[in-house]
Amino acid sequence: MSRVAEELDELNTPGRSNGLLDVFRWRFLLSLLVRKELRVRYRGSVLGLFWSYVKPGMQLLVFYVAMGKFLRLDEAVPNFVIYLFSGIVIVNFFSEVFNNTTRSIVWNGDLVKKIYMPRELFPVASLWVAVVHLLPQLVVLMIAALFGGWRPGPLNILAGLLALLITMASGLGLGLLFGGLNVLFRDSENFVELILMMATWLSPVLYQWSRVRDALPPGLWTLYQLNPGTTAVQLAHYAFWVPAEPVQQYYAAHPDPGPVAPSLMMWTLIALVSSSLILVIGQFAFRRLEGRFAQEL
């Protein structure tokens, strides 16, 4: 009888969820939220999803002219355009995941107040929208890399997948944390904008890792490497930039410093652990705050 009573009590308890695990059980609703967000975002837009090509293309052009031509980094870094583009793709993906998941609860305030569903569906839907925008950029990057002599092996492909995994976990974790706080304190959006403004410069997107190592004391260099974004960008370089023939030839003649920071495998394991920890902390904070969402909205 006690077992039956416990099960009935569990059935009668409204609003209980298993956090991100419930997303798998609500897959159909998740797909509807993704489609809704895409429709709302491109309502009245002529170019629609084509903006996924235009925005990173313009960003690449500006950075390439400013850093590559004006500061002549294209003379010091072989295949600089692919080096730059692979880093931009990762940073843009992180920025969209973090930014949109932070705002996802507020954007869907009417649904949150009217019906019950796992609140995590909204941040995860924003994550999948970011994936939809990422895919065209990856296609363009791979085509450009092929023209640049890209010849990837299994380790390079694995590095690219790990870069995306680390970026998704850390972006979603931070989005859950700041998304919950954003319902209570709208200043959270401003903090997110400050973090994203620095994201491009806190990872080796526009410069080489060796410049940071030479400029920082060992303690700060270690702190720089502990940033999951730093590892994700270096993994993207290892996936799309390092396998190119011009890069291989250059570093065969100039082995020091190498194309990526030493002990990349160790830093990858650390980044996987730290991004997973960020996701767990974000989910914990989100679940502690979600009971106040309907009231505050």
Per-residue pLDDT in tens (0 to 9) along the chain, 297 residues: 455 444 444 444 455 567 787 777 888 888 888 888 888 777 766 666 676 677 777 888 888 888 877 877 777 888 899 999 999 999 999 999 999 999 988 888 778 777 777 888 889 999 999 999 899 889 889 998 998 888 999 999 999 999 999 999 999 999 999 998 988 887 788 889 888 888 888 899 988 898 898 898 988 999 999 999 999 999 999 999 999 988 888 888 887 888 888 889 999 999 999 999 999 999 999 988 888 787 776
Answer whether 133's CB lies under 8 Å from 34's CB.
no
pTM (2 d.p.): 0.89
Three-state SS annotation for 5-25: HHHHHHHHCCCCCCHHHHHHH
Check residue 11 and give its pLDDT.
46
**149 phi-psi bin (left φ>0, alpha ψ -120 to 50, beta other):** left
Return phi, psi of residue 13, to 5°: -85, 110
Q: How far is CA 194 from CA 183, 189, 204, 213, 268, in A?
A: 18, 9, 18, 24, 26
**The tokens of 181 are what?**
């706080």
